[in-house]
């Protein structure tokens, strides 16, 4: 901020802008014209970068959707694994039948 104020104080002279297709001239301070041009360049550069970055934003949205799908799939798989573990515990808890073996006659 200090350099901007310093620049504005140092360049207080007036200049005349001849706007050629229009029939009038405009008198403005040098600092105002320069700062307006810098601000316009800053905005234009930001717009160009934003437009150029659209592919990365699209890829990020697609990856976010894919992550959501995979999280849902993982939750379903965990639920299924829990149900199978419960069934396995029930099967193991059931009493087993012991069939006595007959003595071998030789």
In a domain, 96, yes or no: no
| Alpha helix positions (H), the chain | 2-10, 30-52, 54-93
Q: Are 4 and 35 a contacting pair, CB within 8 Å?
A: yes
95 alpha-carbon distance from chain centroid: 56
Same domain, 32 and 57: no
Range of 76's domain? Answer: 53-88
The per-residue pLDDT for 39 is 93
Place of tokens 């697609």: 62
My answer on whether 13 and 37 are in the same domain is yes
Residue 94 lies in a domain: no
Into how many domains does the chain fold? Answer: 2
Whether residue 105 lies inside any domain: the answer is no
User: Under a CB-based contact definition with an 8 Å cutoff, are residues 26 and 17 in contact?
Assistant: yes
- Cα 69 to chain centroid distance, Å, stands at 17
- Does the model's pTM come out above 0.75? no
Rounded to an integer, the average pLDDT of 50-73 is: 97
| Residues 11 and 38 placed together within one structural domain of the fold | yes
Q: For 98, how many CA atoms within 13 A lie in the half-sphere containing its CB?
A: 2
For residue range 19-60, list pLDDT tens digits in order.
Answer: 888 888 889 898 888 889 889 999 999 999 999 999 999 999
Residues 6 and 39 reside in one and the same domain: yes
Is the domain of 6 the same as that of 35? yes
Would you say residue 37 lies in a domain? yes
């Amino acid at each position: 901020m200090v350099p901007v104020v310093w620049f504005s104080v140092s360049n207080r002279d007036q200049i005349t802008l001849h706007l050629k297709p229009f029939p009038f001239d405009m008198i403005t301070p040098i600092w105002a014209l320069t700062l307006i041009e810098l601000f316009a360049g800053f905005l234009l550069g930001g717009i160009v970068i934003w437009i150029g970055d659209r592919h990365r934003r699209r890829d990020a949205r697609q990856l976010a959707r894919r992550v959501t799908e995979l999280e849902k799939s993982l939750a379903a798989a965990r639920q299924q694994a829990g149900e199978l573990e419960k069934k396995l515990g029930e099967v193991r808890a059931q009493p087993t039948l012991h069939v006595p073996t007959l003595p071998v006659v030789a």
